[in-house]
Amino acid sequence: MSKARRAGKTIGLVPTMGALHAGHGRLIEQSVRECGLTVVSVFVNSIQFDRQDDFDLYPRTLAEDVKFAEALGAQIVFAPSATEMYPHPQNSFVEVEKVAEPLCGKFRPGHFRGVATVVLKLFHIVQPDRAYFGEKDAQQLAVIRRMVRDLNVPIEIVGVPIVRESDGLALSSRNRRLSPEDRRIAPVLHEALELASKAIAEGARRAPEVQRKALAFLARHPEIRVEYLEIVDPDEMQPVDSITGPVRVAAAVWLGGVRLIDNVLAVYY
Amino acid sequence: MSKARRAGKTIGLVPTMGALHAGHGRLIEQSVRECGLTVVSVFVNSIQFDRQDDFDLYPRTLAEDVKFAEALGAQIVFAPSATEMYPHPQNSFVEVEKVAEPLCGKFRPGHFRGVATVVLKLFHIVQPDRAYFGEKDAQQLAVIRRMVRDLNVPIEIVGVPIVRESDGLALSSRNRRLSPEDRRIAPVLHEALELASKAIAEGARRAPEVQRKALAFLARHPEIRVEYLEIVDPDEMQPVDSITGPVRVAAAVWLGGVRLIDNVLAVYY
């Protein structure tokens, strides 16, 4: 890697927790297109999980991940062990205030602290020029962007659009934990967000009204328990009351013991 | 700087708050000896001050600092403005648990968070190979070492011994705020630490006893108010009860409105 750097090659990093799917594929492809060397990291980061069962059940498919990443042109898969990443008790953490507080931050205590901390560790280890993150984790992307700006991290952060199944379900490593029946129900999450987005495009300006409409739609599916569905500003992720510019409609739901998140950018015309 | 890096020069950073004295001089000299390019940063970092008056009264002597640093062989003095360092509200912080908690951490809430955050920002801006810190701020040095280890920061941290006046007073930018009379009293802080160190070298093994002896010595000087005087392990900075290896005796005192800190390493024979 230091050889690539000395040769003046641009280094791209795609940080993942493995169980790679076409969404990750899009990140890797973009890095391969834009950088001379692409590193895919695969690390299921214990300190960002707020639930032990979620950590335990998180799919781990390293052998397939390596093949997948290399087939797309990545040169390096960096898959450290837990003791390589955390050889001592981890006492230092990156805290990102404000942007990390609403949405998932409210329901997953310590999650974004764990994310920001491990991402900064990976940045220091790999020292890439660019790092690629999916827009499905829109709040994560906003947290990383803020961290990079606030801490002067010399890395360009690239957000990559969500990849969806043909029925609209956003790709996620956790989707493989859905039962066949729940898998058929799951696309209603995206439908609810699209409903909100359409209402905004058609002129709705009061966020609570749009929110109520989307929640009423989801309420028709009793299998789904909504954790949150909020309309937020796209940089700071703070819930808005009136819609005066582009907003993100973001939601987290539970379906058969699996937590799904999704979001859409809704544009005010 | 990127030119120096491409030419394979080692870059040394000496982060300071200015008002440079011979203690800083020792740091700069060591960096100049060991590195191909030395950068001295001068920035009075608002977010590490717990008292507005201390921030306002902190001496600022940039023109002299530049001459001083250059005379010792530093190639670059980096003196950013507050808006360069904090162009947006700072929402991201580095929190170092445990080592930052006792001693000064207990009496200056938010201090080490501010220190760790600005030091990491400077590291990302300057991207040195080595960074030099004085042992006078022993807990600060321990916090930075821990941060670097925990966050995989690719920089070598070098601790440099305390420089003292002939009467034992540790050099500090705040010393110039002492009245002539207080300046005459100030060396008793170091004398108290030496008393403790001598007791340990001579066989004292119970930390509270050693502490009592040093405090009793300081109590003979009513002008001095002790904030803390503790015997701690040198890595984690946690107060110890029995002395079974090298320890640091560290103290903070107030003298005529000026806060002074000092420490000595005490070796168990």
One digit per residue, pLDDT tens: chain B, 269 residues?
778 887 889 999 999 999 999 999 999 999 999 999 999 999 999 999 999 999 999 999 999 999 999 999 999 999 999 999 999 999 999 999 999 999 999 999 999 999 999 999 999 999 999 999 999 999 999 999 999 999 999 999 999 999 999 999 999 999 999 999 999 999 999 999 999 999 999 999 999 999 999 999 999 999 999 999 999 999 999 999 999 999 999 999 999 999 999 999 999 77
- The 10s digit of each residue's pLDDT in A165-215 is 999 999 999 999 999 999 999 999 999 999 999 999 999 999 999 999 999
Amino acid at B143: V
Cα separation, B243 vs B239, in Å, equals 10
Give the end-to-end CA distance of chain B in Å, rounded to a whole number: 46
Whether the per-residue pLDDT at A44 is higher than 90: the answer is yes
Q: φ and ψ at A161, to 5 degrees?
A: -55, 155
What pLDDT was estimated at residue A6?
Answer: 79
What pLDDT was estimated at residue B248?
Answer: 98
Picking from A91, A96, A152, the nearest residue to B91 by CB comes out as A96
What pLDDT was estimated at residue A249?
Answer: 98
Please give the domain boundaries of chain A with CATH numbers for all domains.
2-160 (3.40.50.620), 173-264 (3.30.1300.10)
Contact A99 B93 (CB under 8 A): no
By the 8 A CB rule, do B151 and A117 touch?
A: yes
User: Which stretches within A100-206 are classed as H helix?
Assistant: 104-107, 111-126, 138-150, 180-185, 188-201
DSSP B174: G
Cα separation, A85 vs A261, in Å, equals 27
Picking from A92, A95, A152, the nearest residue to B151 by CB comes out as A92
What pLDDT was estimated at residue B268?
Answer: 79
By the 8 A CB rule, do B218 and B188 touch?
A: yes
DSSP B167: T
Cα separation, B60 vs B54, in Å, equals 12
Contact B95 A95 (CB under 8 A): yes
Picking from A98, A121, A147, the nearest residue to B152 by CB comes out as A121
Closest CA to B108 of B28, B195, B246, B228: B228
What pLDDT was estimated at residue A61?
Answer: 96
Of A2 and B46, more confident: B46
CA B97 to chain centre: 18
Instruction: Spell out which residues of chain A touch residue B94, defining contact as CB-CB under 8 Å.
Output: 92-95, 151
Burial classification of residue B128, based on how many CB atoms lie within 10 Å of its CB (0-12 exposed, 13-18 middle, 19 or more buried): buried
Contact A95 B90 (CB under 8 A): no
Whether the per-residue pLDDT at A83 is higher than 80: the answer is yes
Residue tagged 């129900």 (tokens): A185
DSSP state letters, B108-155? STTHHHHHHHHHHHHHHHH--SEEEEEGGGHHHHHHHHHHHHHTT-S-
Whether the per-residue pLDDT at A2 is higher than 80: the answer is no
Q: Which residues of A are catalytic?
A: 24
| Closest chain A residue by Cα to residue B114 | A151
- Average pLDDT across chain A, whole number: 97
- CB contact set of A243 (below 8 Å; sequence gap of 6+): A200, A204, A205, A206, A207, A210, A231, A266, A268
CA dist list (Å): B32 to A245, B36, B48, B63: 53, 7, 27, 20
User: Which stretches within chain B are classed as H helix?
Assistant: 2-6, 22-34, 52-57, 62-71, 82-85, 104-107, 111-126, 138-150, 180-185, 188-201, 207-219
CA B81 to chain centre: 22
Cα separation, A264 vs A266, in Å, equals 6
Give me the residues of B, 78-107, that contact A with CB < 8 A: 88, 90-99
What pLDDT was estimated at residue A1?
Answer: 74
Closest CA to B68 of B3, B16, B118: B16
Output b/e per residue, B46-77; b: 16+ Cβ within 10 A.
Answer: ebbbeeeeeeeebeebeeebbebbeebebbbb
CA dist list (Å): B245 to A46, B74, B228, B250, B263: 35, 38, 21, 16, 16
Instruction: Spell out which residues of chain A touch residue B2, defining contact as CB-CB under 8 Å.
Output: none
Structure tokens at A173: 């490593």
The count of CB pairs under 8 A between chains A and B is: 73
Other C-beta atoms lying within 10 Å of the C-beta of residue B109: 9
Q: φ and ψ at B191, to 5 degrees?
A: -60, -40
What pLDDT was estimated at residue B7?
Answer: 86
> For a pLDDT cut of 70, what percent of chain A falls above it?
100
Mutate to test the interface with A, among B97, B150, B153 (most CBs of A within 10 A): B150
Q: Is the complex ipTM more than 0.90? A: yes
Whether the per-residue pLDDT at A269 is higher than 80: the answer is no
What pLDDT was estimated at residue B3?
Answer: 81
Structure tokens at A134: 């999916």
